[in-house]
Amino acid sequence: MRWVPIAGLLMCVTPLTAQSLGDVARTQRDDPSRPRAKRVITNNDFSPFDQAPALPNPGSKPGAKAIDHSQQDAERAGQQRRRITELSQRVQLLQNELGDLERQRTSVRNSSVYGDPNRAQKNDEIKSLGDQIERKNRELAAARNEFTEAQERANKTTVLK
């Protein structure tokens, strides 16, 4: 019965003296008698933008240089920036056109009086402007979606960062 408390004490002390995995790795790394690897791959060697080495085109000459991926990435980033700028300008233009149509419709509504002989014509104009506003709203929503998608694609490829 006396050995139970001693065994319990030893079980509590044993984990306190054990080395962590990091400590073991550090001692192994620093051991001079251990053979060294020619190349050690770490997390820093990996990047989300790593690509396979560029191969020359099959129709190109054997001495032709491989494609420079950094230049291609820069061109692609420039294209994405230009596309985002174009979409932003398109959204702004559509918003301006929509505002103009709404002001025009409000103006026609305000000028319409019950005793006006041209009231039917103005009602048709108001309806036409309403249809144009609906179409412009749909076009604006589509342009905004396209703009948002382009921004998200660019953010995923870290073009805008």
73-92 pLDDT, tens per residue? 788 888 888 888 998 999 99
Residue 12 lies in a domain: no
CB 129 within 8 A of CB 91: no
Dist. CA 52–CA 21, nearest whole Å:
34
Residue 103 lies in a domain: yes
Residue 17 lies in a domain: no
Burial of residue 57, with CB atoms counted within 10 A of its CB: 0-12 exposed, 13-18 middle, 19 or more buried? exposed
Look at residue 113 and give its three-state secondary structure: coil
pLDDT value at residue 64:
46
Confidence band (pLDDT; 50, 70, 90) for 9? low
Residue that wins the pLDDT comparison between 33 and 158: 33
Residue 93 lies in a domain: yes
Residue 56 lies in a domain: no
Look at residue 65 and give its three-state secondary structure: coil
Q: Total structural domains in the chain?
A: 1
Residue span of the structural domain in which 93 resides: 67-161
pLDDT surpasses 90 at 145: yes
Residue 10 lies in a domain: no
Dist. CA 13–CA 17, nearest whole Å:
7
Average pLDDT over residues 58-77: 64
Q: What value, to the nearest 5°, has the Cα angle with vertex 140 and ends 136 and 142? A: 120
pLDDT value at residue 1:
60
